[in-house]
Amino acid sequence: MPEEKKRSRLGVMGGTFNPIHYGHLVTAEEALFQFNLDKVIFMPAGVPPHKTDKEILPPEERYILTVIATASNPDFFVSRLEIERKGPSYTIDTLLELHEIFGPEVKLFFITGADAVWEILTWRNAEKLVELTEFIAATRPGYSLEKFKKLHVLPEDKGRVKGKPKVSIMEIPALAISSTDIRRRVRENRPIRYLVPEGVASYIEKSGFWKD
Ligand code: NAP
């Protein structure tokens, strides 16, 4: 009898990453460890759905910052799928493409912030989405899980019912760091050292992002 092939486990780290910071990196590393993932692909959003904020750097710049931040980790990769796709970056399109590339033998875990995850049922083609992936929702300490109860997506929910997302919640203390705070600090000439990797801080400074 041939030995059953182990299904590989792929983390897909979705976010705007405007900019990427240590909170994101700790989240991905923790997901890799807790969920026994083989690798994590960071997926900077091209045009995030529902966002028109002028503070959002061009996709190519957020991609470069993400590459700089993840370069030293052999288990982290960065994808250009969303930044090259025209129009809003719907997660369903990304997961369908990954499913096509890697095949059904790869199990997908979509990792992102809890605020985004709790709205997944409003996302485009939600029913197909929950068939394609499990979700890992990263929270800041002290984050209330009350609203997840309303969605019936708390971790104690076993298995996956049609149309019902499988969501696991991870509390990440390093998510006290936020992209919003980093942009504010840059504008106010306050330090961002130790909040983002050194190369990211240098690239932000050299490019003059968020200065005007
Ligand atoms: P967001 O609203 O900018 O972020 C929500 C919260 O989650 C923020 O506190 C954010 O902190 C945090 N966060 C974002 N990404 C994270 C990550 N990977 N790990 C840990 N914390 C994270 O979220 P968004 O960037 O717009 O959306 C997140 C993902 O969901 C993206 O991949 C986006 O494409 C997807 N999404 C899809 C749809 C759809 O398909 N219709 C709709 C909405 C979102 P920071 O600001 O510090 O990152």
CATH number at residue 115: 3.40.50.620
pLDDT of residue 163: 54
* CA 189 to centroid of ligand 1, rounded, Å: 26
SS3 label, residue 170: strand
Pick from 108, 110, 112 the residue to mutate for probing ligand 1's pocket: most ligand atoms within 8 Å of its CB: 112
Chain Cα centroid distance, residue 102:
19
Does residue 98 belong to any structural domain of this protein? yes
* CA 71 to centroid of ligand 1, rounded, Å: 22
Does residue 204 belong to any structural domain of this protein? no
pLDDT of residue 51: 65
> Model-level pTM?
0.92
pLDDT of residue 30: 97
Question: Are 92 and 127 in contact, with CB atoms under 8 Å apart?
Answer: no
Does residue 196 belong to any structural domain of this protein? no
> What is d(CA 19, CA 29) in angstroms, rounded to the nearest whole number?
18
Does residue 3 belong to any structural domain of this protein? no
pLDDT of residue 155: 42
Full residue range of the structural domain in which residue 158 is found: 8-178
* CA 2 to centroid of ligand 1, rounded, Å: 42
State the total domains in the chain.
1
Nearest protein CA to atom 7 of ligand 1, as residue? 113
Does residue 210 belong to any structural domain of this protein? no
Does residue 94 line the site of ligand 1, with CB under 6 A?
no
pLDDT of residue 4: 55
End-to-end CA distance of the chain: 66
Q: Which of 164, 89, 100, 152 is nearest to 126 (CA)?
A: 164
Does residue 123 belong to any structural domain of this protein? yes
Backbone dihedral region of 79: left (phi > 0), alpha (psi from -120 to 50 degrees) or beta? beta
pLDDT of residue 2: 53
Does residue 140 belong to any structural domain of this protein? yes
Residues of the chain with pLDDT under 50: 1, 153-162
Nearest protein CA to atom 2 of ligand 1, as residue? 116
